[in-house]
C-alpha cells in the first residue's frame, strides 16, 4: 500500500479529513435542491437536514410540522430536508386539493412504507400499501362501515359500554372522586370495542389490563427511543427500513400474526357468519386464492392478516386518544362539560335512560365537541404522499420531480388563526353549521381527505361518542395535581400523545340520567 506521507497517523488524518470534506460537500450540494428550484427552504443542518430536534427527541413530529407551517407563512409551499433528502411542505389550499383529490392518481401512494420482504404485515396493510392492490382492497373493505353494519355493531358495543359502567363503579368514585390515568383506561375500553366488533372476541381488558390485545397495543405505541426511531424511518426515510430490520408493528408483529390467524381459522372451521372484518377477509381469501394480478400482493398469508392488524391498531388508538383528550379539555372547561352533559341527559330522558344508535347520532353539541378535540389534537399531524411521476404544479413555476415526498401540514391548518381564531382556545362552537359553512375546504381534515380518507372514520367517531357518553352521564372530570396544564406532547410520539399519561380527577355526580 502506497503511503501519502512517511507517517501512518498523518495518512489516516488526511484520508479521514478528505472523506469528511467530501461528505460535507455532497450534503451541502443536496441542501441547495430547493433553492435551485426557486423554492424557499429552511437552512438545514449538515447530516440531519431540518430533522435534528426530532432525531434527538426534543420535538414531536406534530410540533416539527407546525413549526415548518409557521415559518412558511404567506407561501404556497416550502422545501425542507430530512437527512439529505428534499421534501415539500404544501400550504396552498388549491394545491392541497389537487394532490388529495383532483390529481390523486399522481399522488395515490403514501410516502410511508415498511420493508416489503422482511415485514409484509407492516408493508401490506391498507394504511400504507400501494396501488393497485390498495384501490381494490379499499373498495372491498368499505362495505363493513355502512350505516346498517354500524347499527348491528353498536349492539355489541353497548355490552362493552356496560363493562365500562361496571368498571367505573368498582373504582368507588363517590365523594371527592379519584385521580385516574385516562389514556390507559380509554385504550382498554376501545381495545375491547374493536375486539368484539371487528374480530368477534371478548377481551374484557377493562377487567384485566393485561389481555393479549391490550399488551400488543402497548407494545406498538410504547414510545421508547427504539419505537420512535422505527416510526421516524417508516414515515420519513422508508428506504432505510430494510437495512435496520424495522417492523411497523414492532415486537407485536409475531403475536398479532398468530392471534389473527387463529381467529381466521376458527371462523372458517365454525362456519359462523358475523358480517365483520374477519368474514370479509375470509371472503377475499377465497375469492382471490388463485389471483396474481396485484403486483405481488396476495389475499393470503401476511398480506391478508396485515389488514386485521392495522384495523386493530387504528381502531383502538385513535378513538382512545380522542376520548381522553376530549375529557382533558372538558375538565379545563367546566361550562362546556356542563352543556354537553345537559345534552346527554336530555337525550337519555327521551329514551328512558337507554343509549341507542339513533340517539348517539343526534347529539349536535357532542359532534361539535369531538370535532374541536380533533382540530386541536389530530391523531396524526400531517398527511404524506409521494409523486409517482413528474408533476407540473398548476399556477406556479414549479415541477415536482418523481419520487419527491409531499407533506400536508394538517396540524398547521388546524392551528392557523386565519381559519380558527384564537386556536389554542377550546371552542366547540367553531363547528356550528353556520361557522363551518364560512370556512374554506381542506383546512380541517383530522381523518385525511380524498380517496385516502380514513376508512374507519365513522366507526371511530361512534366509539368515541359512546365512551364520552358513558363517562359524562354519571361522572364529572376535573384537573388534579398530575394534570399538565398546558398539555405537553410526547416528543417520541408519531401520533399525538400526552407525555407521561393523561391524569384527571373523576367524581361520581349526585344526579345522573337513567
Q: Cell numbers 398479532 correspond to what residue?
A: 256
Confidence of residue 512 (pLDDT cuts 50, 70, 90): very low
Is the pLDDT reported for residue 424 higher than 80? yes
Q: Binning pLDDT at 50, 70 and 90, where does residue 511 land?
A: low
Q: Are 66 and 415 in contact (CB under 8 A)?
A: yes
pLDDT confidence band for 28 (50 / 70 / 90): low
Residues 6+ apart with CB under 8 A from 312: 194, 195, 198, 199, 213, 216, 217, 256
In DSSP terms, 477 is beta-bridged to: 506
214 contact partners, CB below 8 Å, separation of at least 6: 187, 188, 191, 203, 205, 208
Backbone angles phi, psi at 349, to 5 degrees: -65, -30
* Strands across the sheet containing 383-386: 77-82, 85-90, 405-408, 383-386
Q: What is the pLDDT of residues 69-113, one digit of tens each?
A: 999 999 999 999 998 899 999 999 999 999 999 999 999 999 999
Average pLDDT, the chain: 92
Alpha helices, DSSP H, located in 52-110: 52-55, 61-71, 93-97
Torsion angle, alpha carbons of 413, 503, 211, 322, to 10: -20
Residue of 433, 457, 388 whose CA lies nearest to 138: 457
Instruction: Indicate if the pLDDT at residue 193 is higher than 50.
Output: yes
- Grid coordinates in use for 382? 400531517
Proportion of the chain above pLDDT 90, given as a percent: 80
CA–CA distance, 450 with 105 (Å, rounded to integer): 11
What the block records as the C-alpha cell of 195 is: 375486539
Domains and CATH numbers, the chain: 33-508 (1.10.630.10)
Q: Is the pTM of this model over 0.95?
A: no
Distance CA 3, CA 15 (A): 11
DSSP class per residue in 255-310: HHHHHHHHHHHHHHHHT----SHHHHHHHHHHHTTT---STT--SSHHHHHHHHHH
In this predicted structure, what is the pLDDT of residue 290?
79
Ligand-binding annotation for 280, yes or no, is no
With left for phi above 0 and alpha for psi between -120 and 50, is residue 175 left, alpha or beta?
A: left
Judged against a pLDDT cut of 70, whether residue 5 lies above it is answered with no
Please state, in angstroms and rounded to a whole number, the distance separating the CA atoms of residues 152 and 158: 11
Statement: residue 293 has pLDDT above 60:
yes
| DSSP of 16-64 | HHHHHHHHHHHHHHHTTHHHHTT--BPPPBTTTBT-HHHHTTSS-HHHH
Cβ–Cβ under 8 Å, residues 331 and 337: yes
Amino acid at each position: 500500500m502506497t503511503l501519502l506521507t512517511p507517517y501512518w497517523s498523518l495518512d489516516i488524518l488526511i484520508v479521514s479529513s478528505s472523506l469528511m470534506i467530501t461528505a460535507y460537500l455532497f450534503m451541502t450540494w443536496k441542501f441547495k435542491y430547493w433553492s435551485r428550484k426557486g423554492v424557499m427552504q429552511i437552512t438545514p443542518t449538515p447530516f440531519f437536514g431540518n430533522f435534528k430536534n426530532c432525531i434527538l427527541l426534543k420535538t414531536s413530529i406534530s410540533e416539527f410540522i407546525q413549526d415548518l407551517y409557521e415559518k412558511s407563512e404567506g407561501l404556497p409551499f416550502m422545501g425542507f430536508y430530512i437527512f439529505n433528502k428534499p421534501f415539500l411542505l404544501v400550504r396552498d389550499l388549491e394545491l392541497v386539493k389537487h394532490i388529495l383529490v383532483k390529481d390523486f392518481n399522481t399522488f395515490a401512494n403514501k410516502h410511508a412504507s415498511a420493508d416489503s420482504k422482511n415485514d409484509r404485515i407492516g408493508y401490506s396493510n391498507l394504511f400504507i400499501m400501494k396501488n393497485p392492490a390498495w384501490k381494490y382492497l379499499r373498495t372491498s373493505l368499505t362495505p363493513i362501515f355502512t350505516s346498517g353494519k354500524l347499527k348491528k355493531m353498536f349492539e355489541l358495543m353497548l355490552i362493552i359500554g356496560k363493562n365500562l359502567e361496571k368498571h367505573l363503579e368498582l373504582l368507588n368514585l363517590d365523594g371527592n372522586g379519584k385521580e385516574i390515568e385516562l389514556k390507559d383506561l380509554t385504550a382498554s375500553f376501545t381495545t375491547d370495542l374493536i375486539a368484539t366488533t371487528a374480530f368477534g372476541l371478548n377481551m374484557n381488558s377493562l377487567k384485566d389490563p393485561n389481555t393479549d390485545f391490550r399488551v400488543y397495543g402497548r407494545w406498538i405505541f410504547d414510545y421508547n427511543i427504539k419505537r420512535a426511531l422505527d416510526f421516524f424511518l417508516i414515515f420519513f426515510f422508508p428506504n432505510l427500513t430494510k437495512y435496520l430490520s424495522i417492523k411497523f408493528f414492532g415486537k407485536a408483529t409475531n403475536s398479532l400474526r398468530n392471534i389473527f390467524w387463529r381467529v381466521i381459522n376458527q371462523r372458517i372451521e365454525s362456519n359462523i357468519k358475523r358480517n365483520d372484518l374477519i368474514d370479509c377477509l375470509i371472503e377475499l381469501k377465497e375469492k382471490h386464492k388463485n389471483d396474481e394480478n396485484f403486483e405481488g400482493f396476495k389475499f393470503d398469508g401476511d398480506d391478508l392478516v396485515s389488514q386485521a392488524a392495522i384495523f386493530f391498531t387504528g381502531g383502538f388508538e385513535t378513538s382512545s386518544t380522542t376520548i381522553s383528550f376530549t375529557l382533558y379539555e372538558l375538565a379545563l372547561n367546566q361550562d362546556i362539560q356542563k352543556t354537553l352533559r345537559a345534552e346527554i341527559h336530555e337525550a337519555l330522558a327521551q329514551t328512558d335512560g337507554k343509549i341507542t344508535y339513533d340517539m348517539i347520532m343526534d347529539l349536535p353539541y357532542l359532534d361539535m365537541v369531538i370535532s374541536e378535540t380533533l382540530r386541536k389534537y389530530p391523531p396524526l399531524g400531517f398527511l404524506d404522499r409521494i409523486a409517482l411521476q413528474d408533476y407540473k404544479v398548476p399556477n406556479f413555476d414549479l415541477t415536482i420531480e418523481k419520487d419527491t415526498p409531499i407533506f400536508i401540514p394538517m396540524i398547521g391548518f388546524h392551528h392557523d388563526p386565519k381559519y380558527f381564531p384564537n386556536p389554542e382556545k377550546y371552542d366547540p362552537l367553531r363547528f356550528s353549521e353556520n361557522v363551518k359553512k364560512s370556512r374554506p375546504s381542506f383546512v380541517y381534515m383530522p381523518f385525511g381527505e380524498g380517496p385516502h380518507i380514513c376508512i374507519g372514520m365513522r366507526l371511530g367517531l361512534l366509539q368515541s361518542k359512546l365512551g364520552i357518553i358513558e363517562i359524562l352521564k354519571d361522572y364529572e372530570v376535573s384537573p388534579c395535581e398530575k394534570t399538565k396544564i398546558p398539555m405537553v406532547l410526547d416528543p417520541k410520539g408519531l401520533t399525538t400523545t400526552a407525555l407521561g399519561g393523561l391524569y384527571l380527577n373523576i367524581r361520581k355526580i349526585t344526579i345522573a340520567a337513567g
